[in-house]
Amino acid sequence: MHENKEIDESKQGEALMIESPAAKGGKKLFLESYGCAMNFSDSEIVASILKDQGFSTTQDFFEADVIFVNTCAIREGAEQRVRKRLTEYRKAKKTNPDLIIGVLGCMAERLKSQFLEEEKLVDIVVGPDAYRSLPQLIETAETGQKAVNVLLSKEETYADIAPVRLGSNGVTAFISITRGCDNMCAFCVVPFTRGRERSRDPETIVNEAKDLFEKGYREVTLLGQNVDSYLWTGGGLKKENPTAQELSEATTFAQLMEKVALINPDLRVRFSTSHPKDMSDEVLHIIAKYDNICSYVHLPVQSGNSRILEMMNRGYTREWYLNRIAAIRTIIPDAAISMDIITGFCSETEEEHRDTLSLMEEVKYHFGYMFAYSERPKTLAERTYKDDVPEEIKKRRLQEIVDLQVKHSAERTKEGVGKVFRVLVEGVSKKSAEELYGRNSQNTVVVFPKKNYKKGDYVNVLVDNCTGGTLIGNAVD
Ligand code: 5AD
Ligand code: SF4
């Protein structure tokens, strides 16, 4: 999935710690993750597998026996960042020649054993579907050999592995509901690095959410590249042509969300990412029906121009997308909507760029994640189109899009002033120990004086002020 969603910049590459470490004396793991929420969620699977092997985590890679970096390949820049990080690990390998360095995730899958040739200090290369083999791979690496497993699977969902929560606030958690992607957007490397789409058994999803709730968590985010195509027909891999009987027994995304929402009204449900071509009214009605399903839809548009959307193989037009926006507004009137946009895709003209700006004006998104197009190896776009928009034009168009979004975000935030929101407290504000922060249903951060409230509480906050992206107020009874 998506490099951006829900994972803020401060968490990128932060040492991920298991809170209740295994027995002392075990080996030490330094684990860090880049990219999207799915990667952070996968790191919790990795931690779970290694904890069972007696590993504990460390924040200092100089004292680690194993360094694992979970990587992202979505844009060239994401890969450069990992390469840079590897040069820092080199120092640790100098002081500890037995140190094992492993590269996990999308970049590992994309480059496979080529990685070992390009980066001599790497010992292990492992793709997102091969984490169960980590113990064997470590064993191999301990004998001084290089170890690679980049097999992709049509079934693996790690459904039976209870993730170890990492760097958690104890209130919010991610749950993967699908893996892989079958959409083949022309610009996107994900179908190559994460393989075929498969849905996870709904029972294991509901049980994981229940377990989190019992441990004090109050919000789960259901994760998938395209949550709307979630479909459990018993076997995992989505059946191409299900029979009427199979369909009647299947669990859809709407039904899955309902099951999770019914666990407890105090368990909030979020989800990411929705796909405009697949997001149904049925899903929107379920969101509207349950107060604990958040009024927030992340609906990447990528471009406001139908010719570009066609080239991108997105499966919808500008008109279709705007019809989905209208459906959200009608069915969930208080919803916040956010987007992803790619600017400077192959052959994009100035007029087509202005279509993206005008679509933004029509929707006026609450938030946005905006990128300049970056050509990725093996993708349809790389094979069939020319990356012909000059860098400085991409940069200028991106700036125009970002400037407009900053303006819209500020306007949307301001609309919250004077209103009361139910806020789930996530922790103490970074700016002041006397203040708490949390989010409202629409996913906007709300800050207010602490009084006797604490993490995990739901607090009604009357907002009387704001900054560009944060609401400020006071608790009301
Ligand atoms: N170049 C730029 N942005 C990209 N994205 C995906 N692939 C590329 C690419 N090759 C963006 C899309 C996607 C988000 C996660 O990253 O907007 O929704
Ligand atoms: Fe990539 Fe498109 Fe799949 Fe999202 S839906 S992961 S952009 S191929």
Pocket test for ligand 2, best of 226, 341, 376, 379 (most atoms within 8 A of CB): 226
H or E stretch covering 244: helix 244-249
On whether the CB atoms of residues 446 and 440 are closer than 8 A, the answer is yes
On whether the CB atoms of residues 462 and 474 are closer than 8 A, the answer is yes
> pLDDT truncated to tens, each residue of the chain (477 aa)?
334 455 777 778 888 887 655 556 689 999 999 999 999 999 999 999 999 999 999 999 999 999 999 999 999 999 999 999 999 999 999 999 999 999 999 999 999 999 999 999 999 999 999 999 999 999 999 999 999 999 999 999 999 999 999 988 999 999 999 999 999 999 999 999 999 999 999 999 999 999 999 999 999 999 999 999 999 988 656 667 778 887 788 999 999 999 999 999 999 999 999 999 999 999 999 999 999 999 999 999 999 999 999 999 999 999 999 999 999 999 999 999 999 999 999 999 999 999 999 999 999 999 999 999 999 999 999 999 999 999 999 999 999 999 999 999 999 999 999 999 999 999 999 999 999 999 999 999 999 999 999 999 999 999 999 999 999 999 997
Ligand 2 and 190: CB distance under 6 A = yes
DSSP 239: P
Reduce the DSSP state of residue 449 to 3 states and report it: strand
Token readout for 113 is: 């054993």
* Closest atom of ligand 1 to CA, residue 379: 10
Ligand 2 and 35: CB distance under 6 A = no
pLDDT digit string, tens, across residues 65-111: 999 999 999 999 999 999 999 999 999 999 999 999 999 999 999 99
CA distance 314 to 277: 8
DSSP 293: B
Pairing state between β 435-439 and 445-449? antiparallel
Distance 81 CA to ligand 1 centre (A): 16
Token readout for 21 is: 């470490």
Buried (b) or exposed (e) across 438-468, using 16+ Cβ within 10 A?
bbbbbbbbbbbeeeebebbeebebebeebee
CA distance 299 to 301: 6
Nearest CA residue ID for atom 2, ligand 2: 185
Nearest CA residue ID for atom 1, ligand 2: 188
CA distance 294 to 443: 8
CA distance 195 to 121: 27
Using a 10 angstrom Cβ sphere, with 0-12 exposed, 13-18 middle and 19 or more buried, the burial of residue 164 is buried
What ligand is nearest to the CA atom of residue 187?
1
Listed in order, strand segments (DSSP E) in 11-146 are 28-33, 56-57, 66-71, 100-105, 124-126
CA distances from 144 to 12, 110, 157 (A): 30, 24, 31
**Helix axis angle, 350-363 relative to 391-414, nearest 10°?**
10
pTM over 0.85: yes
Token readout for 301 is: 């548009």
Ligand 2 and 381: CB distance under 6 A = no
Cβ neighbour number for residue 432 with a 10 Å cutoff: 12
Q: In what order do the strands lie in the sheet with 296-298?
A: 296-298, 336-343, 367-372
Token readout for 343 is: 């600017």
Token readout for 427 is: 């922790």
Closest CA to 301 of 283, 281, 275: 275
Closest CA to 115 of 146, 145, 138: 146
pLDDT in the model for residue 273: 97
Ligand 2 and 38: CB distance under 6 A = no
pLDDT in the model for residue 332: 98
Distance 185 CA to ligand 2 centre (A): 6
H or E stretch covering 337: strand 336-343
Residue in this structure with the two tokens 């349950």, named with its chain if needed: 290
Pairing state between β 100-105 and 458-466? unpaired
Closest CA to 425 of 171, 51, 129, 113: 171
Pocket test for ligand 2, best of 185, 238, 312, 376 (most atoms within 8 A of CB): 185
Residue type, 38: M
What ligand is nearest to the CA atom of residue 196?
2
CA distance 424 to 455: 8
Residue type, 276: P
Reduce the DSSP state of residue 374 to 3 states and report it: coil
pLDDT in the model for residue 26: 86
pLDDT in the model for residue 404: 98
Nearest CA residue ID for atom 5, ligand 2: 183
What ligand is nearest to the CA atom of residue 346?
1
pLDDT in the model for residue 246: 79
Ligand 2 and 226: CB distance under 6 A = yes
Distance 273 CA to ligand 2 centre (A): 9
On whether the CB atoms of residues 440 and 471 are closer than 8 A, the answer is yes
